[in-house]
Amino acid sequence: MARHIVGIGGTFRPQSSSELLVRAVLSACERMGARVTMFDGAALAALPHFNPESQDRTAAQAAFVAALRDADGIVIGTPGYHGGVSGVVKNAIDLLEDLRGDDRVYFDGMPVGLVVSAAGWQAGGVTLAALRGIVHAMRGWPTPAGIAVNSIAQKPFGADGALIDAGIAAQVDTQARQIMGFRLEQAA
């Protein structure tokens, strides 16, 4: 059975660079034999604010949690917003509190690729570190290769949304290989 890799990330902007980067990692995983599911900025924005006092879930929330429950690996992408993870992406992650009581708690034993797009270098670094902290809190295994892109200085995408920066493409491939090559026995 093909591994299921779930992508989470993006903003409302057309050709959101954080969304395109997550999609690029998913495509590379697909080429390596994965089946993939993507939750982009619009899908994440459709999730109501997470309320720890309520067990009510919309169909969109239930579908999101179900996809993550079925995942064998995750790719999370965010823009750097004010030096951190965007609210839309963090709200989706907070909903995954629903995985806390599962046999596999949160992201336990799963590889998680992390991607940040920011307009400057500083936000890329600190936001990638913040994402790593979040994944550790959720018992996941951030891949050694994290990707932080400067969307102004690097201009990674062409007009059609294709990844045109060879260096970033190599990072995308490395991260996908680390996700697809991850074995829990290595982590145990």
Ligand X SMILES: Cc1cc2nc3c(=O)[nH]c(=O)nc-3n(C[C@H](O)[C@H](O)[C@H](O)COP(=O)(O)O)c2cc1C
Interaction site with ligand X (CB under 6 A):
10-11, 13, 16-19, 79-83, 117-120, 123, 151
151 versus 175: smaller Cβ distance to ligand X = 151
| Closest CB to ligand X among residues 26, 99 | 26
- Name the minimum Å distance from CB 105 to ligand X: 30
Cβ proximity of 163 and 132 under 8 Å = no
> Least separation, in Å, of the C-beta of 101 and ligand X?
33
- How much of the chain is helix, strand and coil, in % rounded to 5? 45, 20, 35
CB of 157 to ligand X, least distance (A): 9
Task: Please say which residue, 108 or 165, places its beta carbon nearer to ligand X.
Answer: 165
Look-up of token digits 């995750």: 74
For the CB of residue 21, give the shortest distance to ligand X in the complex, in Å: 8
Q: Virtual CA dihedral for 64, 66, 69, 70, nearest 10 degrees?
A: -110
Nearer to ligand X, 16 or 143 (CB): 16
Do the beta carbons of residue 37 and residue 22 sit within 8 Å?
no
- Shortest distance, CB of residue 1 to ligand X, whole angstroms? 32
Distance CA 130, CA 91 (A): 15
Residue 62 or 152 with smaller CB distance to ligand X: 152
Report d(CA 41, CA 1) in Å as an integer: 28
- Angle (CA) 89-47-10 rounded to 5° is 35
